[in-house]
Amino acid sequence: MKAAPHPNLSEIKKQSVRGAVSTVGARAVIVLFSLASTAVLARLLAPGDFGVLAMVMSVVGFVGVFKDFGLSAAAVQAAGTLTPVQASNLFWMNLAVGAALTLGTAAAAPLVGMVFGEPALVPVTMCVALSFVLISLGGQHAASLQRELRFKRKAFADVSGALVGAGLSILLAWKNLSYWSLVWGTLASAAVTSVLLVWLAPLRIQRPQRGHGLRRLMGFGGNVTAFETINYFHRNLDNVLIGRVWGADALGLYSRAYQLLMFPITNLRAPITAVAFPAMSRLRNQPEQFRAYYRKVSFLLALASMPLVAFLAVAAEEAIGLLLGPHWHAAVPIFQALAFAAFIQPVASLRGIVTLSSGRSRDYLLLGTVNAVIVCIAFVAGLRWGPIGVAIGYSVAIYLALYPTFILAFRTTKIRVLDFWATVAQPAVTSLIAAAAVQIVVRPALPSDLNAIGALGVLGVCFGAIWLLGNAIWPGGWTAIRNVRALFSTSRP
């Protein structure tokens, strides 16, 4: 029997860039339409209507950690080795998990209403619970598209579902259906997305069959789910601690600063990592190609995220004043403290993709556990100084966790810790130099009567000019950026 040909790195790069462009474009459309629909719905619905759904989603969000038991990640990671029978069996298992979560959440609806003291939550929880089974219908089809690097089709399904859901919510809100307009919009979005995924994916479902090597895939998915559970708790512990000890006002400042900073970062990181995971899974049996691809993706993500975070840190006062208003000035130091972590976090998070794509889900779980323990200790240590203490503790913890988690993530691969620092050096140094120059030289020279928009414009132009100059001076810096541009141009279909 002939051995399967090794994937071609050049072709995978081209497919990855096309996929990243499609995914980023889709996310941009979804974000813009979400902001627009939120503005419209805010004028049609009362704050209490949003509160009803928010209370339900706080419960559904935790249950959602188990929505596919990590089977979608297992299917993507098994690129090139997953058989049609295995893919079909994973679909049926996904559907079974989704149905079980729907029934379990619906059964717990009276308890949700009792805990929050709001009877209206009972029927809402029962209805929103249907989203689990609806999402599970398209889960393996989405994984199939991602595994085959067919991101345009997946992007079309995601955008269509988001548009239909938001449009239906607006229509029903206009018809005075109060919070039910949000509920039906959520379900419509899940249903349309899944239907389109089933239609567009190459996956053809067969009847379920026993065996066929599913135990390994289930073990992989179980480790992914355990990681997501640990990650969920440590991601929310800071909010719980601040709210419990310092109250709602302090939590409001912290949560707004965190969400405002992470909004652009998440929307940059998520599409790139979504493309990198299946691509690196294809290259896992070619150590040098695997390493080369990691370095390319790290540089690209650093080039996109580090200048943005550095600029937001020095322009925090203007950005928060413009987006949140002058009464949110106390959030500025919290925002800047969190920016210290956000500067390195998007690129560092690729260590999880390295472990998953190389098939080491146990190391992925261990990596998440180590990171969670260090971060949780930092939260507790910084709590005595309020939200700013928690933010500083979080940032320090992110850097303390880098070395041990890199050693764990990169073992058994050709990637070395030095590869990480070598790929981020240029974006990091040029971004920090631009930020320091803007803070020390440009900011003091701003006219005192300049409004927030004007100040942001001046700071942005100066930051960009200094950053470009730094890259031009950096040895081989301009060549590295031109290589990224060349990759995009050669990847056009």
How do residues 447-487 score in pLDDT, each as one tens digit?
A: 888 888 898 999 999 999 999 999 989 988 777 777 666 55
Give the Cα separation of 369 and 375 in Å (integer): 10
**Do the Cβ atoms of 27 and 159 come closer than 8 Å?**
no
Inter-helix orientation angle 402-410/417-437, to 10°:
140
Indicate the SS3 state at residue 355: helix
- Within 10 Å of residue 354's Cβ, how many Cβ atoms? 27
Q: Where are the alpha helices (DSSP H) in 149-213?
A: 151-174, 180-200
How confident is the model at residue 60, as a pLDDT? 76
Please answer whether residues 173 and 41 qualify as being in contact, where contact means their C-beta atoms are separated by less than 8 angstroms: yes
Q: Could you say which DSSP state residue 441 is in?
A: I
Cβ of 2: how many Cβ atoms within 10 Å?
Answer: 4
C-alpha 417/C-alpha 405 separation (Å) is 10
pLDDT single digits (tens) 94-120 = 788 888 889 988 898 888 788 767 788
CA 305 to chain centre: 13
pLDDT at 10: 60
Beta strand segments in 40-152, E: none
Chain CA centroid to CA 126, Å: 27
For the chain, the domains span 7-212
Residue 439 has a pLDDT of 94
**Average pLDDT for the chain:** 81
From CA 453, how far away is CA 256, in angstroms rounded? 20
Q: How far apart are CA 133 and CA 335, in angstroms?
A: 38
User: pTM for the complete prediction?
Assistant: 0.75
Report the pLDDT averaged over residues 384-396: 94
Asked whether residue 430 carries a pLDDT value surpassing 60, the answer given is yes
Is residue 343's pLDDT more than 50? yes
**Cα–Cα distance between 7 and 60 in angstroms, integer?**
40
- The one-letter code for the residue type at 459 is L
Pair 91, 138: CB distance under 8 Å: no
Q: Could you read off the pLDDT of 10-61 as tens digits, one per residue?
A: 666 566 566 556 666 666 777 777 767 766 776 787 766 776 776 777 677 7
